[in-house]
Amino acid sequence: MSHAATIMGVTLLIWVGLFLYLIRIEGRLKKLERRARDVSKPSEPNDTHQT
């Protein structure tokens, strides 16, 4: 394999690595945001029908 092909392979690998890393962060953020929304959601009062 030529020198240029090796560098191209490494550059493509770096891009694929960065791409997958960003996708992973996006997934984690979505999960955290969902969890944060669930925590901050005001809980339904159970005794409304009694009043």
Partner 1 sequence: MRIWQGILGVWMGVVIYKAFMLPEIKGLVAYPVAYFHPPVAIVTFIAFLVAMIYGIAYLRKRNPDDDLKSSTAAELGLLFCFLATVTGAIWSKVNWGAYWSWDPKQTSIFVLLLIYGAYFALRSSTPNPDQRSALCAVYSIFGFVSAVMLMFILPRVGFSLHPKDTLTGGQSAKPVLLLFLASTAGFSAIFTWMFQLAVRSHQLEIEDQIS
Residues that bind partner 1 (CB under 8 A): 4-5, 7-8, 11-12, 15-16, 18-19, 22-23, 25-26, 29, 32-33, 36, 39-40
Shortest Å, Cβ 12 to partner 1: 6
Give me the residue label for tokens 């969902």.
34
Q: Which is nearer to partner 1, 39 or 46 (CB)?
A: 39
Render the burial of 7-43: b for 16+ CB within 10 Å, e for the rest. eeeeeeeeeeeeeeeeeeeeeeeeeeeeeeeeeeeee
Q: Which is nearer to partner 1, 3 or 49 (CB)?
A: 3
